[in-house]
Amino acid sequence: MRFSLLTLFFVFAAISAQAWEFSSGENITGKLIAYDYGNKTAEFTRKESLKTILVPAKDLSLRSKQRLLINEIFLSSYPKHPAFPTEKRYLFGLAVIGPMAALLIGFWVAGLLLAGKVNPIRAVIGCVGGWILLTTFMLFYFFFAARLGGGWQTIVLGGFIGLIAMSAFVSAIYQCGIFKGFTIFLVQIFVAFFLSVVGLALTETLIKKEKVETFWDDWVFEQVGML
């Protein structure tokens, strides 16, 4: 789950760099140190005074809620029992479906620009198959290194072999050279990131702020147990 959420981190990279703030726009001068899942409150500490303040999650700005969504402190605040409550499964679904949708579009655009192939079926097969191949090789070599003590060199070797296998697979789908197959796979990440950031920005520009916040509250924050 955390591996999948790393993709969301890149989508919200700009958000993470901002200061914590209330829904009123006032900055919260402190560092997030804890999140109470039961009471839905975030705890911040101020270095100068060493005092802590409790802020209900509903009083945070949209940007701060989005930032909290990918924060390790919030992710580790889920109750231990049951291990996978409905809210956690919903978050896992967002972590997989959201990035995958962006990557599929990015792969289709990359294939269209670099290989001149417009068929979306190629993009689906190439994207899903490529990621499965790369992930399989990485997991295998992680396991191999952990059991036999291969160290980071083994993991790097696994990643290199996985990239070659993935590039060969993509090149077969798009009927091009291996290097171009690798380039298509690489470009999809940048295209997906660009489209995600632009999409978020346009959504908040073209749609009223209240409607955007209501959508996030109803379909994301409440569903994952933040509110």
Domains and CATH numbers, the chain: 2-77 (2.30.30), 86-206 (no CATH)
* Distance in angstroms (rounded) separating the CA atoms of residues 117 and 113: 8
Classify residue 60 by its DSSP letter.
B
Least Cα distance to 132 among 142, 122, 124 occurs for 124
Question: What pLDDT does residue 180 have?
Answer: 92
pLDDT in tens, 199-212: 877 887 888 888 88
3-state secondary structure of 192: helix
Closest by Cα among 9, 128, 130, 132 to 67: 9
pLDDT at 227 over 70: yes
Instruction: Look at residue 149 and tell me whether its pLDDT is greater than 60.
Output: yes
**pTM for the model:** 0.71
Asked if residue 3 has pLDDT above 70, the reply is no
List 36's β-bridge partners, or say none: 41
Binned at pLDDT 50, 70 and 90, residue 80 comes out as confident
What is the average pLDDT score of the chain? 84
What share of the chain has pLDDT > 70, as a percent? 89
Instruction: State mean pLDDT over 210-221.
Output: 90
Residue 49's pLDDT is 65
Residue 36 has pLDDT above 80, yes or no: yes
Token pair in block for residue 168 = 């060969």
State the pLDDT at residue 18: 61
- pLDDT greater at residue 154 or residue 73: 73
Q: How far is CA 171 from CA 141, 213, 215, in A?
A: 24, 42, 40
Taking residues 30-40, what's their average pLDDT? 90
